[in-house]
Structure 1
Amino acid sequence: WIRENPSFISAETTPDPDEENAVKNNYSTAIGALIFSLVFLLGVPGNLFVVWSILARCRQRSVTTLLILNLACADGFLMALSIFFIIFLALRTWVFGNAMCKIVFYLCHSNMYASVFLITLMSVNRLLAVVFPHTLYRLITRKVVRRVILGTWVLVIVMSIPSLVFRDVKGVRFEYAFQTVAGFIIPYAIIITSYVLILKRLRETRFQRNFRSEKLILAIVIMFGLFWLPYHVVNMIRVCKGIFSTNNPITTSNLLHDIAESTRAVAAALAFISSCANPVLYTFAGKSYIKNNGFAFMAKLFEGTSSETETKTTAQKKKNKQTKCT
């Protein structure tokens, strides 16, 4: 939402006359700055603690743990970038130059895609562990997981290139639509499908009920969706605004423009909350370990994802043996 500020647009670009100020709403700006400040103070140390817990204290690293590690790296880096937006909202102008504007948005979008894709991989991994424990899930070795994660980072680096290329008004609208479809609608369609199949399988097998991994990942999925939904809604409002500006009366375009302008600072700040919420979520999920494990409580929580996978596989084997005996 900084990109439309005239100070960020190059001389070759013709700005939309309706977009002469990136932060017109004082109330929205103040709330946005406050939220960005809070997520910076909580998100950076929180995600660093998650990374430290996994690398220094976690002895058994399951697939879920490796994905959480990469998610914490993406979230922590995104939280560090929030300092730029805090300064922007405080000063009401971008003081870091056009090149830095491109770089910051490129990094933000890269980490946005990384977060949602890693969460999608978590859901697919749980699907394979629950529904196909003896076939497809056995193929998921540590080597395969590392290659998939590396491929995911390469993919998000490529997908974020439009942040550097599309700088005119039409390009920006294309990018908004692309972000929403590729970074929200498609991943969440995969996630919802995965959890529908998981829940169906859980109802069929008694021994697979009430495992912490499913609950933890489902909580991550729900929180990410809730906090990012307003951002993508604003994106689509801006896309619709561009369509109405050419095909309908100017009053409709102005109305959509006013709605987007008055809400985008808060919507962007809410999206950042999702990246600092995960460490808080892990803390609540692992609070039963705090008394006995101290600062290693989070590592103990993540190690549980390994033992749960083994428990499911062992239980399935026992069930198969009992079936054969009868």
Structure 2
Amino acid sequence: MAEIDEMTFLTTPTDYSSYYDSINETFSPCEEFDLSFSRWFVVTLYTLVFILGSIGNSLVVFVLVKHWNQTNLTDLCLFNLALSDLLFIFSLPFYIHYMVIGDWTYGNFMCQFLSCSHQSGFFSSIFFMVVMTMDRYVVIMHAHGVARYRTMKTGVIMVTVVWMLSFFISLPAFIFANVTVEDQDTGCYYSPENEGWMHYDLFITNVLGLVVPMLVMVICYSRIIPTLMSMKTAKKHRVVRLIISIMVIFFLFWAPYNISRFLKFLYSQDLIESSCAWEGNLKLSTTVTEAIAYTHCCLNPIIYAFVGQKFMRRVLQLLKKWAPDSFISSSSYRSSRKSSVGSRSSNVTSTIIM
């Protein structure tokens, strides 16, 4: 397979290059594009995402498991967000191997399993970010009315619903993923029975993966920020910066890829003028923006966990047991404890900065 889009088999969101190539026959075939740079760019970035994402999210899981007896609803969401990101990046080594050698060697079941697990990890990660946003909104804006409902039992039910929803949304990826042979190359492709399932994947990725989460963040945080600014707490400016960072980072990492996919869909439907330049640019932009979007799972531990004083205090406690004192100064540890005590001055800010 000469083109990078056809090398990346089925990722989440699913690659449609072979589908578009087959239906876009209104003009003569374009010359083969040289996307070797994109190929090795993706391989390098996927490798970094796998290493950094595994370390960061595994550390979150380990710390929360170690302090499981102190877990609250926020911790439960954070724990499952880290699990979602780990599930998401679990398949990256298989993708990297496939892109390097150009053949799918893991069989049909692994093709289906990895496709479904990758997509389930993607949607569950998005959904848990939405749940954490809504939980912050409810706690800050309606603190007295919902306190009795924020129990671990409620959290377990909510987590179960999110995982089940993510799995059912991703089920077509398992059903329609198949190993096929094209030009003596074996690949794992999303091959649905009709065009409707192609549109389904694009729709749920754009709407549930970008539009809905972005709307929830904008609506909730636009109400939270004025409330925070009206409070007399030294933490409010830091919290507002964190909130804005969450929204901006999410949009910058995922919007370009979703826009590229949507433009590719318009191109396949002849709603954009057909040209070799457009075809090459769309393939290049989809490949590059997809790889960049995947790096978001490396940032989730930083955005949602490591900025919190409570979590960092736990990490420092853990590292003090693992590492020599020369690597972790006692002054840093005491500073973390003081910051944590100071954060208790506001239950609202501590809801956002753990």
Shorter-normalised TM range: 0.7 to 0.9
Counterpart Cα distance in 1 of 2:65 and 2:256 = 34
Q: What are the residue-to-residue correspondences of 1:1-326 with 2, within 5 Å? A: 2-3=9-10, 4=16, 15-16=22-23, 25-57=35-67, 59-165=69-175, 167-168=191-192, 170=195, 171-207=197-233, 210=236, 219-244=245-270, 249-251=273-275, 254-281=276-303, 282-283=305-306, 289=313, 293-295=317-319, 311-312=346-347
Deviation readout 1:31-79 (Å, 9 max, x if unpaired): 1000001111111122111101001136532322111100111111222
3-state SS of paired residue (2:105)? coil
Which whole-Å CA distance do the structure 2 matches of 1:109 and 1:5 have between them?
A: 18
**8 Å contact kept, 2:202–2:261:** yes
Change (3 A) 1:308 1:96: same
Question: Tell me, which stretches of 5 or more residues in structure 2 are unaligned?
Answer: 11-15, 177-190, 321-331
Verify the 8 A CA contact 2:49 2:294 in the aligned structure 1: yes
Task: Provide the rounded CA distance (Å) in 2 between the counterparts of 1:307 and 1:150.
Answer: 35
Q: 1:93 to 1:176 in 2, by over 3 A?
A: farther
| Structure 1 Cα separation of the partners of residues 140 and 155 of structure 2 | 17
Amino acid at match of 2:217: I
- Tell me the CA shift for residue 181 of structure 1: 0.8
- Cα separation, partners in 2 of 1:74 and 1:292, compared to 1, 3 Å: closer
Greater helix proportion: 1
Residues 110 and 156 of structure 1 are in contact (CA less than 8 Å); yes or no, is this contact kept in structure 2? Answer: yes
* Aligned partners of 2:254 and 2:293 also within 8 Å: yes
Structure with more contact order per residue of length (Cα contacts < 8 Å, sep ≥ 6): 1
Contact 1:177 1:239 in 2 (8 A): no
Q: Deviations over 1:128-172 (max 9, x none)?
A: 111111113432222111111110111111111232355247332
The separation in 2 between residues aligned to 1:155 and 1:234, in whole angstroms, is: 26
RMSD over equivalenced CA pairs, Å: 3.9
Give the whole-Å Cα distance in 1 for the aligned partners of 2:241 and 2:201: 34
Query: Do the aligned partners of residues 208 and 201 (structure 1) sit closer, same or farther apart at CA in structure 2, a change above 3 Å counting?
Result: farther
Paired residues of 2:23 and 2:268 also in contact (CA < 8 A): no
Deviations 1:209-253 (A, max 9, x none): 528777656644543332222221222122111222xx56533xx
Unaligned runs of at least 5 residues, structure 1: 316-326
CA contact (8 A) 2:63 2:314 kept: no
Shift in Å, 1:5 = 6.8
8 Å Cα contact 1:36/1:269 also seen in 2: yes
Offset at residue 201 of structure 1 (A): 1.7
- Secondary structure in structure 1 of the residue aligned to 2:103: coil
Residues 33 and 280 in structure 2, CA contact (< 8 A), matched pair in contact too: no
Instruction: Note the C-alpha offset of 1:122.
Output: 0.8
Aligned length: 302
1:40–1:82 contact (8 Å) kept in structure 2: yes
Given the superposition, is the C-alpha separation of residues 292 and 263 from structure 1 closer, same or farther in structure 2, using an over 3 Å criterion? closer
Three-state SS of the structure 2 residue aligned to 1:250 is coil
Identity across aligned pairs (percent)? Answer: 20
* TM-score w.r.t. length of structure 1: 0.77
Amino acid at match of 2:221: Y
- Could you tell me the TM-score, scaled by structure 2's length? 0.72
